[in-house]
Structure 1
Amino acid sequence: MNGDVDRLIKEGLVPMKKRAVESFGRNHPHIMALFKSFFGGQKNRVGIRVTENGKTVGEYTIHMEGTDITEVEDGVLSSELHHPLGIVRPYAVIERSALERMLADEENIASDPVGALRKYLPDLTLKFM
């Protein structure tokens, strides 16, 4: 896959997600406790496809235990989220330029993850395997 996109995901998005989750936990401890109880002890995978001008330039599987990222696989798109009614396999599709804008806006995302999520939702397409 594309080395620049790999760096955007592994060295940009993953650490930013960790900081945003920490910030969310400090600002909303009760909601974070719900997330941790819901996802605690579960191993889930989240898929991300990065595109450039509509063409796939990278596919990633983010492995999670609870709310923590444990591994990022590049070149693989494999999603599996466990919930009380079964398993769903959603993955996100995002243009590289939108990903770069998100990473440049890290301070806003870390300080207000919910507000930032609303700002970037139009840049994300959610699909199912």
Structure 2
Amino acid sequence: MTFAGPTQAWPRAARLDAPRVLDRIFAITGVRLVLEGPCPGGEVGAAYVRWPDGRRSVLTAARTQCGPLADRARTAGVPTARHELTARVDGVRVVVQQRLPGRRRPPSTPPWCGRCCRSTASSPTCSPGRRRSSPPSCI
């Protein structure tokens, strides 16, 4: 398996206009979510929102319909956010997902490299501390 390099990366997603998206979600579903503010970092302009019952969630964009896969991962014990609402708004799939507790991770060596290095310690292609541009064949 190979990953695209920087020149072959997927096209960058357009940033969400959260107030407009929330108005469209209301028009489509009848659910009025309240915008609390932007999420720090990220690529698409994700925003914190609040449901009428007070629950807090995250509004973001999605390229695929990965909710069922996230459900399977969560069932297996992976801390994955539940998709609480999905809609296609003006040609963009938007997701309102469960807000999980936690904080932003600092940059680090990709976790797949650490797993590979532990399982193939003598491999010349993956040594501890080495950063890779693509995942190893062991995952």
Would the TM-score normalized by the shorter structure come out above 0.5? no
**Higher helix residue share:** 1
**TM-score with structure 1 length normalisation?**
0.25
Query: In terms of Rg, which structure is larger?
Result: 2
- Structure with higher RCO (Cα < 8 A, 6+ apart): 1
**Higher strand residue share:** 1
